[in-house]
Amino acid sequence: MKNERLLGFVRSFSSFLAVDRSEPAILVEGARLLASLVEQDDWLQEEFARPDPTFYQQYLLYADPLERFSMVSFVWGPGQKTPVHDHMTWGLIGMLRGQELDTRFHLQADGSLKPGETRILAPGQVAYVSPATHDVHQVANYYSDQTSISIHVYGGNIGRISRHVFDPSTGTPKTFISGYGNDVVPNLWR
């Protein structure tokens, strides 16, 4: 029963991609499907919801065999946050549990990156990133005393994509490939 919701998303999103691969349409339909996935917090298996005491975790939930998209659970321990980073592809962020702070960064004339607006994401809400509009941000757990979890969908195999973290004061990029925190993925037919 538990993974039926996840399977439902994978099926619906895969079916959608079979007929429409345009990013604006993907972001609208993907956000609608992701919102319906995260509106209930009763499906994520415990092993993909486990925080690490030191680092935030990125667990692969599903990767499309053609690498058209991937899904991960991001698990934030108390007070944990990402560096300023990009994605090099579109991404949808659906808040499942707790809350997180999503801060966009804007490139300045001197090459530095300046923090802009910060959005608080509450359970059920969906945000997005895109190289076409805004791809650089920093995400932090809103809470200093509890775990927060968001479900992300990306337009590629995000754990294998070469992308960047930035020193915001200089804008200097450093290449990284994130990988995934898990060696096994959920059994969607459990």
For residue 46, give the nearest of 81, 73, 64 by alpha carbon.
73
* Start-to-end Cα distance in the chain: 7
Q: Which amino acid is at 47?
A: E
**Residue 152 marked ligand-binding:** no
Calpha distance 17→66 (Å, rounded): 11
For residue 88, give the nearest of 177, 171, 14 by alpha carbon.
177
- Contact present, 10 and 67 (Cβ < 8 Å): no
For residue 97, give the nearest of 45, 147, 152, 33 by alpha carbon.
147
Phi then psi dihedrals of residue 126, to 5 deg:
-130, 135
Residue numbers belonging to the annotated binding site = 85, 87, 137
Residue numbers belonging to the annotated binding site for Fe cation = 85, 87, 137
